[in-house]
Structure 1
Amino acid sequence: MATRDHLRHEMAIRLLTVSHIDQLTPSMVRVTLIGDALEDFSAPGPTDHVKVFFPDPATGELTIPELRADGLHRPTDGVIISRDYTPRQFRPAPFGAAELDIDFVLHAPDAAHGNPKDPAGGGPASAWAAAAHPGDEIAVAGPRGSHLAPRDVSEAVLIADETALPAFTRWLDLLPASTRITALLDVADEEVEPYLTSEQLKRASVEWLYREDGPGQLDEAVRSLDFAPDVYVWAAGEASSLVPVRRYLKHDAGLRPDQLDVQGYWKRGIVNRDHHEPIDPSDPD
């Protein structure tokens, strides 16, 4: 049985400042945040997420909920704009400022929505990240909890599109060194490849699937795999494309619920989808 321990964290909303920005690929940037509020930050799980609050593009005003003893309270005015993101890396600093890295896709990762190189295809979060400068302020809430990586699997299969690459790299960091990892990365084209370091590429057997080469590649790649009895499979990305993947793994490959975690990080035509929603309501867990 693949066991993932669960930790709870005290809720916090942290006002943070952009320290610097790194261009990772033509379509992805890493924003490094600093602030005294990071002192007690913790995100030890590979799929942890925080809610990031962005300024209103129309006014530049950053509006965030107020955290009270009885929970979160929405302010009476102002526009709240938030999205969920994986905290890519947190570096506590006993001698200096703690740093939190969050990686952003600068445009919609679905090439069917227009030119995949055009940042204008993204929403307010990617627009903010594309224009961010040191000194800009945003707020980060959470994480509320952490599901740790399983400690008792000999083999893991990890499936991700661009939006899930930060979580994918956290899996590489946090799975036991003895776990053999197979990765299927469903991305627009080869320009995404520099996101992974040479060390990360050595950690897993990676197959790049380029959507510009045509549909159906992910399904075919998943069906071609042989699964060990104790395999753990994690998949995240566009919800609709992962429905047939989940159905195959659950029903045809016969994976148990504790061996399978499929998350829809976004969905075509849906703005700010809650990734906690069932990926396939007709076939719940």
Structure 2
Amino acid sequence: MTEPKLPYRFFDVRVLRTERIGTALIRVTLGGDGLGDLVTDGRDQRFKLFLPQPGQDAPLLPEPLDEGWYARWRAQDPAERAVMRTYTFRTLHRLPDGTTELDVDFVQHGDTAHSGPASLWSRTARPGDRAAILAPVVENNGGADYQPPAGTDWTLITADESALPAVAGILAWLPPGMPAHVWIEVPHQDDIQPLPTAADARVTWLIRDKDTPITDAVRTATLPKGTPYAWIAGEAGTVRTLRRHLVNDRGIDRKAITFTGYWRRGKTEEQLLDELA
């Protein structure tokens, strides 16, 4: 029997260039053979990024790619297996010469001594450095969580800098005129960036430790009438607080809220994976 085709595959990629786009953000542009096969459903389309360990030229991938790839990755020697992180497509560029480039934005933490491996890699990456991604190659690939149901009158979005690429993708995807109330909390003024959209979007930027905390800003906001759909992403504790407020205080149907903790204060991704093991 023929194995079912998976909606994603591994791609070998190389760094083309890097750009500091804010105090807390570095954009790494990736290229590679076959990237023209990448498919994005827009919105918060995610993929897996694999980085080499120190001393490795390229990441050690858990091949062959089948339904058991994740278990094989977990079983590899932690000192040798690739560092794996989940990221969101920022921009997929289809260039006139037929090549494809992928922009990925990396958050930079103020305490560089405790930066994670992906943050460190983005700061030290040079053109030609190798990595790999596990990314979608078909539409409707299950990698986008922003799914407003039929009958949605308006959307509420909250995020921090870790979810900025997802918010950019969602706003670019929203239909013309769709009312959207958006709150984004970032560490610094220069982390604010343009977010083009055809939606009727009211975007409020909040500077951390200077402006009103995002939880208080949403709690005191006047929201539209009609049927909402909410998408909440960022630090897990903040996400839980906001979801609780929307359900308990605003009366929003919990089924109309998509929430994702992109990170948890005081925890690395490896520690979170160990908790799930």
- Give the shorter-chain TM-score range: 0.7 to 0.9
C-alpha contact 2:176 2:199 (8 A) present in aligned 1: no
Q: Residues 251, 273 of structure 1: CA spacing in aligned structure 2 closer, same or farther, 3 A cutoff?
A: farther
CA offsets per residue over residues 172-212 of structure 1, 9 Å max, x none?
Answer: 1001112112111112231211x335x46996322222222
CA offsets per residue over residues 116-170 of structure 1, 9 Å max, x none?
Answer: 3x44442100000001111111100134523465375332111010000000111
SS in structure 1 opposite 2:243?
helix
Q: 2:41 maps to what in 1?
A: 44
Per the TM alignment, residue 255 of structure 1 is displaced from its structure 2 partner at its CA by: 1.1
Per the TM alignment, residue 89 of structure 1 is displaced from its structure 2 partner at its CA by: 1.6
Matched, 1:243 2:236: no
C-alpha contact 1:162 1:187 (8 A) present in aligned 2: yes
**Partner amino acid, structure 2, of 1:217:** P
Q: 2:107 maps to what in 1?
A: 105
**Partner amino acid, structure 2, of 1:256:** D
C-alpha contact 2:177 2:200 (8 A) present in aligned 1: no
Q: Percent identity?
A: 32
Distance between the aligned counterparts of 1:55 and 1:26, measured in 2?
25
TM-score, normalised on structure 2? 0.82
C-alpha contact 2:51 2:132 (8 A) present in aligned 1: yes
SS in structure 2 opposite 1:170?
helix
Matched, 1:65 2:62: yes
Q: Residues 69, 51 of structure 1: CA spacing in aligned structure 2 closer, same or farther, 3 A cutoff?
A: closer
C-alpha contact 1:265 1:275 (8 A) present in aligned 2: no
Matched, 1:139 2:132: yes
Q: 1:96 maps to what in 2?
A: 98
Q: 2:213 maps to what in 1?
A: 217
Matched, 1:186 2:185: yes
Q: Residues 275, 88 of structure 1: CA spacing in aligned structure 2 closer, same or farther, 3 A cutoff?
A: farther
TM-score, normalised on structure 1? 0.80
Q: 1:24 maps to what in 2?
A: 21
Distance between the aligned counterparts of 1:224 and 1:64, measured in 2?
48
CA offsets per residue over residues 90-136 of structure 1, 9 Å max, x none?
Answer: 123463211111111122xxxxxxxx3x4444210000000111111
Distance between the aligned counterparts of 2:219 and 2:25, measured in 1?
29
Q: Residues 176, 142 of structure 1: CA spacing in aligned structure 2 closer, same or farther, 3 A cutoff?
A: same
**Contiguous gaps of at least 5 residues in structure 1:** 1-7, 108-115, 277-285
**Partner amino acid, structure 2, of 1:134:** P
C-alpha contact 1:264 1:275 (8 A) present in aligned 2: no
Q: 1:11 aligns with which of 8, 30, 35?
A: 8
Distance between the aligned counterparts of 1:265 and 1:45, measured in 2?
18
**Partner amino acid, structure 2, of 1:221:** A
C-alpha contact 2:180 2:199 (8 A) present in aligned 1: no
C-alpha contact 2:174 2:199 (8 A) present in aligned 1: no
Per the TM alignment, residue 68 of structure 1 is displaced from its structure 2 partner at its CA by: 3.9
Distance between the aligned counterparts of 1:241 and 1:46, measured in 2?
21
CA offsets per residue over residues 53-83 of structure 1, 9 Å max, x none?
Answer: 1111355552221134453134855232111
**Partner amino acid, structure 2, of 1:190:** Q
Q: Residues 180, 203 of structure 1: CA spacing in aligned structure 2 closer, same or farther, 3 A cutoff?
A: closer
